[in-house]
Amino acid sequence: MNKKPNTRLTLRAVEIFVAVIEEQSISRASKRLGSSASAVSLQLSNLEAALGVRLIERSAQRFEITSAGKIFRLRALRILDELNGVMVDLSANNKLPSMIIRLAVIEDFDANILPEWLTAIQSEFARLRFIVKSGPSHENYSSLNGRAADVIVAVDAMDTVDWVEEHPILRDPYVIVRSGQTDVDSLFEELLRRPFVRYSREQHMGRQIEAQLRRTKLVPAREHEFSSTQAVLSMVKATNGWAITSASALLGATVSGLVASQLPIPAFSRTISLYARRDTLNDMPENFSAILRKVFKNNLIEATKNPPYDLDPNLLPQPIDSSN
């Protein structure tokens, strides 16, 4: 491929190349970048012209990164990581009017934790602006892996990889939630005769709950599944049923008329962590996680005074000391 005159390599083209490779599609990359497919295709062609090599073999039947594309991808990732580091340094030294951080969090934090956390961050980092997406942990992992998010908060179901830094935030015990009409505290067999409302199996929470139930050999009949805590609890109330959920999920729920208590099966919990790409945001992820722990501590102090759903304060989630 001959290099075209007046064609230059741009950072935007590098970003587009990485997005196309990670999405394995020009159309999906365009959605991720908020651009048109034709603009993405043009930028990619201009990048190849500037380098003088074909980076991706693409047609209606074929999408394959070339050997040159594999070489360039390694450098492209470093370029984008270095750019993020430069942005952080400039922002920290008040050299930028603002810096945008793309954040993906689990939905349970939307109502109370997220607003307080972002407000606290901005009190220390006034030049930061956030684009926030809420979703289940597996979607947040994909967002981090695909560079659609810079920082995520998710359950610790992610395999350890060298390009990700993890900051544990919270140890979150599972509890049982039932309709207030269900007057049983110790007879699990009685609950099994009532509707059991499940989390979706595509979610880590749903899989973890099902695994624990199988270990106890007490597996309720399979009926409805939901992807959000609000929907699960609403269905529990509507059916005079029960569910297993986490204590932190209850802190953000708004369904009345339910009671929460200790599990009648062996206790288990999940860990919630903050993740970021290693060495790209300097010490920001560590600072963000420290602020998030403080927010949780403040919320848990209030929750201890007025436990959600009459939950025993000893069953509330506990922030994880960063020194551990």
Same domain, 146 and 260: no
Same domain, 105 and 159: yes
Residue 2 placed within a domain: no
Same domain, 28 and 161: no
**C-alpha to C-alpha distance for 314 and 303, rounded to whole angstroms:** 11
The bridge status of strand 258-261 relative to strand 99-105 is unpaired
Same domain, 292 and 252: no
CATH number at 50 reads 1.10.10.10
Which domain covers residue 300, as residue numbers? 88-170+270-306
DSSP per-residue letters across 208-242:
HHHHHHHHHT--PPP--EESSHHHHHHHHHHHT-E
Same domain, 258 and 277: no
**C-alpha to C-alpha distance for 8 and 266, rounded to whole angstroms:** 62
Using alpha carbons, select from 76, 116, 121, 78 the residue that is nearest to residue 101: 121
**C-alpha to C-alpha distance for 174 and 274, rounded to whole angstroms:** 20
Same domain, 179 and 263: yes
Only one residue has tokens 């034709």, namely: 38
Residue 320 placed within a domain: no
CATH number at 179 reads 3.40.190.10
At a CB cut-off of 8 Å and minimum separation 6, what does 246 contact?
Answer: 108, 172, 173, 174, 175, 205, 269, 270, 317
Same domain, 289 and 148: yes
At a CB cut-off of 8 Å and minimum separation 6, what does 307 contact?
Answer: 313, 316
Residue 153 placed within a domain: yes
Last residue of a domain, one of 251, 269, 287: 269
Residue 182 placed within a domain: yes
Per-residue pLDDT of the chain (324 residues; tens, 9 = 90+): 544 445 688 888 888 888 888 888 888 888 878 889 899 889 899 899 988 999 998 877 778 889 998 898 888 888 887 777 777 767 666 666 678 889 999 988 887 899 999 999 999 888 888 999 998 888 898 888 877 889 999 988 666 778 899 999 999 999 999 887 655 555 567 777 888 999 998 888 899 999 998 898 877 877 789 988 999 999 999 998 899 999 999 888 888 889 898 888 889 999 999 999 887 888 889 999 999 999 999 888 888 888 888 888 889 999 998 765
User: Exposed, middle or buried by CB within 10 Å (0-12, 13-18, 19+), for 153?
Assistant: buried
Residue 218 placed within a domain: yes
User: Exposed, middle or buried by CB within 10 Å (0-12, 13-18, 19+), for 306?
Assistant: exposed
Residue 313 placed within a domain: no
Same domain, 76 and 93: no
Residue 324 placed within a domain: no
Same domain, 96 and 185: no
* Structure tokens belonging to residue 162: 């060298």
Number of structural domains found in the chain: 3
Same domain, 117 and 60: no
Last residue of a domain, one of 51, 83, 115: 83
Residue 157 placed within a domain: yes
Using alpha carbons, select from 304, 292, 311 the residue that is nearest to residue 174: 311
**C-alpha to C-alpha distance for 317 and 11, rounded to whole angstroms:** 43
Same domain, 186 and 254: yes
